């Protein structure tokens, strides 16, 4: 799960980490009121979307010369004007894709006198199974580009979970940033605080770009992105409360209510499968037969009739879906229960596209009988290859 910049900064501030003062705003009036609470005279109006690259982004509705999603404002009037231009409009950045994201929230923050910009991120490194800190003197830029052009300017420091964060890790971070004197001490302390926050909050990723050195010698987090391990969210109701569903795919939001693992994809064939491995195999075999899956959907091992119905509705609510392939192995979940779910859902949603169902496992015959006697145009398949061939043929025929 991702959160907004201002939410991440508020979380980090609780760990003693330095951030510029700021206030979130949902309206132009709130933006101006937020700015009034800041010392001024330089304010920064920042679009809050779950994507980076906002500064260099462009608003769809505004001209090509219009400013991006991070704007310096020199007066309250400027704040009012910038907030008015941003709210409700669509910001396109290198991370949003062409569709862009609608800006519904702003963050009004102190303008900082920047002496230098640095990069610092933390993630769970799958190769080592440890938390890694990635540090670079090249802040404020696209880190992938830095990694490509000047990899020697990136340092990775891994932390042994059994040992935890040690003072030498902090010194290594400060050294990699080439900081001396008091700034060196600040960097070491910041690294320690970030590690504590990362572990406490069960983060999956934390990126600070840029981390800045101010002209009066302080390290501040100027921009940050934070994401959390969804499997650990139950331990953090306060973090879960920060979820902004308007930033997520509506179908994925609906799926998560039923605990369904659903990912929207670009193809035409909707898939409903139990088990991630079988779901991957189903997607592969659809491709092998010349078409593409419209989604990944794992209903899980112990799915109920309600879950199957919900899954079915989600697939059908995608206008791109031209046919559905259900591929279920009834182990924990019996085939007749699945069949009942499929029939109930198909009737409820007025199934308008071809549906091929392949059932295997416990009570398979009862399941097939339910489908055959449903009065619905459901095509049964005997195995995975047969199922994929049938759905592709049906969709092509219907086209």
Residue numbers belonging to the annotated binding site for Mg(2+): 209, 223
If binding is defined by CB under 6 A, does position 55 make contact with ligand ADP?
Answer: yes
| Closest CA relative to residue 330, chosen from 305, 371, 307, 302 | 302
Q: Which of residues 58-97 bind ligand ADP (CB under 6 A)?
A: 70
3-state secondary structure 68-83: CCEEEECCHHHHHHHH
Q: Which of 222, 219, 135 is nearest to 182 (CA)?
A: 219
* DSSP per-residue string spanning 185-227: HHHHHHHHHHHHHHHHTTEEEEEEEEEEEETTS-EEE-SEEEE
- Written as one string, the DSSP assignment of 103-166 is ---EEEEE---EEEEEEEEEEEETTTTEEEEEEES-TTS-HHHHHHH-GGGEEEEEE-TTT---
Comparison of 9 and 358: residue with beta carbon closer to ligand ADP:
9
What is 302-359 written as a DSSP string? T--HHHHHHHHHHHHT-TT--EEEEEEEESSS-HHHHHHHHHHHHHHTT--S-EEEEE
Contacts of 124 (CB under 8 A, 6+ apart): 130, 131, 132, 204, 205
40 binds ligand ADP (CB under 6 A): no
**Of the residues 18, 34, 52, 341, which one makes contact with ligand ADP according to CB under 6 A:** 52
Active site residue 10: no
CA 82 – CA 38 distance, rounded (Å):
17
- Partner touching 274 among ligand ADP, Mg ion, none, CB below 5 to 8 Å by kind: none
Is residue 5 involved in binding Mg ion (CB under 5 A)? no
* Piece of 111-119, 125-133, 231-239, 318-326 that binds ligand ADP (CB under 6 A): 111-119
Stretch that binds ligand ADP, among 59-67, 105-113, 146-154, 307-315 (CB under 6 A): 105-113
Interface with ligand ADP in residues 159-218 (CB under 6 A): 209-210
The dihedral built from the CA positions of residue 134, 137, 140 and 144, taken in this order, carries a sign that is negative
Quick one: 22 or 354, whose CB is closer to ligand ADP?
22
Tokens describing residue 162? 């059994």
Select from Mg ion, ligand ADP, none the partner in contact with residue 54, using the beta carbon and a kind-dependent cut-off of 5 to 8 Å: ligand ADP
Q: Which of these segments, 107-115, 126-134, 166-174, 268-276, binds ligand ADP (CB under 6 A)?
A: 107-115
User: In the structure, how many helices (H) and strands (E) does the chain have?
Assistant: 13, 19
Answer yes or no whether residue 20 interacts with ligand ADP by CB under 6 A.
yes
- From the list 1, 12, 17, 44, which residue makes contact with ligand ADP (rule: CB under 6 A)? 44
Residue with smaller CB distance to Mg ion, 203 or 279: 203
Alpha carbons 21 and 105: distance in angstroms, whole number: 17
Distance CA 48, CA 325 (A): 38
If residue 269 lies in a helix (H) or strand (E), which one and from where to where? Answer: strand 269-273
Binding site, by residue number, is 46, 53-55, 112, 117, 209, 223, 274, 331-333
Whether 107 sits among the annotated catalytic residues: the reply is: no
Q: Does the footprint of ligand ADP cover residue 112 (CB under 6 A)?
A: yes
Q: Which one among 40, 62, 89, 140 touches ligand ADP, defined by CB under 6 A?
A: 140
> Exactly one of 6, 118, 119, 258 is catalytic; which is it?
119
Q: Which of residues 204-263 bind Mg ion (CB under 5 A)?
A: 209, 223
Q: Which does 112 bind (CB under 5 to 8 A by kind): Mg ion, ligand ADP, none?
A: ligand ADP
Q: If binding means CB under 5 A, how many residues of this protein chain bind Mg ion? A: 2
Q: Judged by CB, which is closer to ligand ADP: 83, or 355?
A: 83
State yes or no: residue 100 binds ligand ADP (CB under 6 A).
Answer: no
Kind plus residue range of the DSSP H or E element containing 296 = strand 295-298
Q: Where along the sequence are the contacts to Mg ion (CB under 5 A)?
A: 209, 223
Q: Where along the sequence are the contacts to ligand ADP (CB under 6 A)?
A: 20, 44, 46, 52-55, 70, 109-112, 114, 117, 140, 209-210, 222-223
Residues known to be catalytic: 119, 207
């Amino acid at each position: 799960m991702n959160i907004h910049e201002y939410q991440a900064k508020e979380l980090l501030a609780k760990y003693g980490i330095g951030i510029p003062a700021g206030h979130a705003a949902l309206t132009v009036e709130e933006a101006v009121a937020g700015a009034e609470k800041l010392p001024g005279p330089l304010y920064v109006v920042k679009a809050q979307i779950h994507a980076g690259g906002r500064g260099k982004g462009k608003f769809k509705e505004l001209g090509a010369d219009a400013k991006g999603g991070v704007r310096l404002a020199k007066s309250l009037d400027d704040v009012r004007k910038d907030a008015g231009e941003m709210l409700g409009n669509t910001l396109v950045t290198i991370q949003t894709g062409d569709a862009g994201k609608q800006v519904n929230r702003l963050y009004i923050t102190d303008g900082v006198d920047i002496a230098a910009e640095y990069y610092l991120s933390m993630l769970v490194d799958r190769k080592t199974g440890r938390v890694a800190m990635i540090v670079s003197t090249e802040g404020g830029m696209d880190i992938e580009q830095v990694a490509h052009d000047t990899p020697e300017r990136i340092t990775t420091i891994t932390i042994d979970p059994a040992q935890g964060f040690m003072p030498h890790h902090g010194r290594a971070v400060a050294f990699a940033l080439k900081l001396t004197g008091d700034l060196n001490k600040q960097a070491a302390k910041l690294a320690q605080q970030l590690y504590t926050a990362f572990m406490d909050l069960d983060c999956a990723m934390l990126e600070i770009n840029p981390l800045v050195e101010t002209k009066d010698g302080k390290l501040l987090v100027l921009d940050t992105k934070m994401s959390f391990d969804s499997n650990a969210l139950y331990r953090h109701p306060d973090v879960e409360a920060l979820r902004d569903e308007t930033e997520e795919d509506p179908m994925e939001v609906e799926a998560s209510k039923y605990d369904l693992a659903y990912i929207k994809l670009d193809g035409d064939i909707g898939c409903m499968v139990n088990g991630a491995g079988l779901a991957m195999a189903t997607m592969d075999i659809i491709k092998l037969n010349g078409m593409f899956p419209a989604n990944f959907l794992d209903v899980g091992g112990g799915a109920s009739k309600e879950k199957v119905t919900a899954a079915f509705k989600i697939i059908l609510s995608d206008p791109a879906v031209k046919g559905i392939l259900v591929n279920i192995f009834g182990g924990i979940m019996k085939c007749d229960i699945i069949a009942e779910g499929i029939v109930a859902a198909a009737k409820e949603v007025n199934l308008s596209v071809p549906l091929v169902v392949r059932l295997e496992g416990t009570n398979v015959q009862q399941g097939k009988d339910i489908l055959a006697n449903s009065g619905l145009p459901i095509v049964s398949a005997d195995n995975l290859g047969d199922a994929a061939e049938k759905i592709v043929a049906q969709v092509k025929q219907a086209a």
